[in-house]
Amino acid sequence: MSHLMNTYGRQPVTFTHGEGVWLFDAQGNQYLDALSGVAVNGLGHAHPALVKAIQNQVAKMIHVSNIYGIAEQEALADKLADISGMDKVFFCNSGCEANEASIKLARLYAHNKGIENPEIIVMERSFHGRTMATLSATGNRKSQAGFEPLVSGFVRVPYDDLDAVKAIASRKNNVVAILVEPVQGEGGVHIPLDMAAYLQGLRKICDDNSWLLMLDEVQSGIGRTGTWFAFQHADIVPDVMSLAKGLGSGVPIGACVARGIAAETFVPGKHGSTFGGNPLASTAGLTTLKVIETEMLRENAQKMGDLIKSNLQAALADTKGVIKLRNAGLMIGIELDRPCAELVKMALEAKLLINVTADKVVRLLPPLVINEAEAKELVTRLAALIKQFLTTPMVINANAKQHEKATW
């Protein structure tokens, strides 16, 4: 019997090691990793430059407290400020913690302005994490159920709907910020119809009302959509941005990045983290960013993402049951007309690692290092599986269908 708490429905496989986009198990099977530990292993597995940098750092010093200067952390903050056009960084260990920092920052900003009961606008279908505040900000009833009372101070609107946000602006005077994913990941890989127009619209509403524009780029950041950050497709800069997943290539690190007045909001005693930005994690972050730059992985993410989508589109053109293919770089979603959790297991048997989110959306988040041959191999394997799945009778999916009803 396992002594692990029952928080995951785990796939029946255990890996021993990896190399690039490939993972291996103890039986010698080789799997094509199209998930990257959920958008974490952007450099693939065992990237030599990352391995070397981490090994060197471990031999010197893994951790010291944030009550001392940490040169590696300073260097990573400099680099993040440089590539984002923002000013200051707070380091933590995960995406939910980065969003916790953003939420606390917005509330402090509000109280400093004399707003005693501040509210933050959040989106339907959003995902911001599993801590109490980020769970409350998340737009998925299923993950909230059983954890009430939720944290108050959030007001929810539909995603990709500027009018809904404007309506809140004219109705409420205690709103202080908008927290939004530029591309929704867990919610089903939803990309605003016109991402640039949507983000520019949100930017303008925030400017007009002195609200903070807070982007959750935990999944969309660090090169995944073809730019360092998804907001760079829109030629705007947010006030606050949360990062994690791909930042440390698997060494836990999160960051809350801020600009202007937002960057000056926290003062000593208001927030902190024991591990956040320690020498090991900061070295992993800095090396990740350097490799993305030197190996031109943002450009590769854009190219390979578009290639995977167009090749899948061609391969599935005559397949009934495929609703829509979406991609922003290497954030790729294939929406089907039915719940498709079984595809994950079918893919595993075909030695392909994928994910299904929002019940009906096959999600691909391959390493940013994926090359053309590997991308084509991914398309070949996945298209065959989707075709096979969609030609099996719907009754097989009855259980999944009931499950879906309980979700939203």
Ligand X SMILES: *Cc1c(COP(=O)(O)O)cnc(C)c1O
Q: Given the rule CB under 6 A, which residues bind ligand X? A: 94-96, 99, 127-129, 181, 185-186, 216, 218-219, 244-245
Q: How far is the CB of 311 from ligand X (least distance, A)?
A: 26
In the complex with ligand X, which residue's Cβ is closer, 257 or 322? 257
Return d(Cα 354, Cα 122) in angstroms, integer: 28
Least Cβ distance, residue 252 to ligand X (angstroms): 8
Q: Which is nearer to ligand X, 142 or 401 (CB)?
A: 142
Are 229 and 220 in contact by the 8 Å Cβ rule? The answer is yes
User: Closest separation between CB of residue 37 and ligand X, Å?
Assistant: 11
Q: Which is nearer to ligand X, 168 or 218 (CB)?
A: 218
* 364 three-state secondary structure: strand
Distance separating the N- and C-terminal Cα atoms of the chain: 33
Closest approach, Cβ 245 to ligand X, in A, equals: 6
Q: CA 386 to CA 287: how far, in whole Å?
A: 37
Nearest residue (CB) to ligand X, 226 versus 252:
252
Q: Which residue's CB is nearer to ligand X, number 22 or number 90? A: 90
3-state secondary structure of 9: coil
Q: How far is the CB of 156 from ligand X (least distance, A)?
A: 16
d(CA 178, CA 167): 13
> In the β-sheet with 119-123, what is the strand arrangement from edge to edge?
88-92, 254-258, 240-243, 212-216, 175-180, 119-123, 154-157
| Residue number, 140 or 209, with CB nearest to ligand X | 140
Closest distance between ligand X and the C-beta of residue 321, in Å?
A: 27
Residue 173's Cβ-count burial label (10 Å; 0-12, 13-18, 19+) is exposed
Residue nearest to ligand X (CB): 95
Q: How many CB atoms lie within 10 A of CB 27?
A: 8
